[in-house]
Amino acid sequence: MRNALLFLLASFAGTAGAQTSTPAPPSCVGTEHRQFDFWLGEWAVNAGENHAGDSRIESILDGCVVLENWTGAKGSVGKSFNSYNRQTGQWEQYWVDNQGTRLLLRGGLAGKSMVLTGAQERPNAQTGQTQRERITWTPNDDGSVRQLWETSTDDGKSWSVSFDGLYTRQPAKK
């Protein structure tokens, strides 16, 4: 019995040692993980002539996540968590806000723009249609970023603009 116990302890110790020498998973330093970095910064956001809100976009978790902190001019507050999924080769965004909205988008670069799409979880109560969402972020030559948010209720055959905002870089807050 004592020999069996010593054998088990020695086996466990060998396994534990092997586990600590396992290489760490790849970090998020590849170029695909930097594709959304043009959005990093402190921003004032306008929709046309109207101030829509402010947004702080930061890189967190060792560069694996782009975190959006949104504060709307009319009191809305939200966050999005954006990351590159190595397994699918796509970017994913999970948006949540203080209105109870949740949205999951997926996509990637199209030219110099980041384009993410998704669908609402439930069909619209009035129409019975599932609303699709498409958001495009395009960096402009002057350092600003245009965010075009479009929706479709006919399975992507036609799109209407929900929000057309211009992110203008602001000095970093201390």
CATH, residue 131: 2.40.128.20
117 near 131, Cβ under 8 Å?
no
Closest CA to 137 of 38, 32, 59: 38
In a domain, 134, yes or no: yes
Structure tokens at 141: 């030559």
Total domains in the fold of the chain? 1
Contact 165, 45 (CB under 8 A): yes
Per-position pLDDT tens, the chain of length 174: 444 434 433 443 444 444 556 666 668 988 999 999 999 999 999 999 999 999 999 999 999 999 999 999 999 999 999 999 999 999 999 999 999 989 999 999 999 999 999 998 777 777 777 889 999 999 999 999 999 999 998 888 999 999 999 999 998 776
Q: Is residue 18 domain-resident?
A: no
Cα Rg, the chain, nearest whole Å = 22
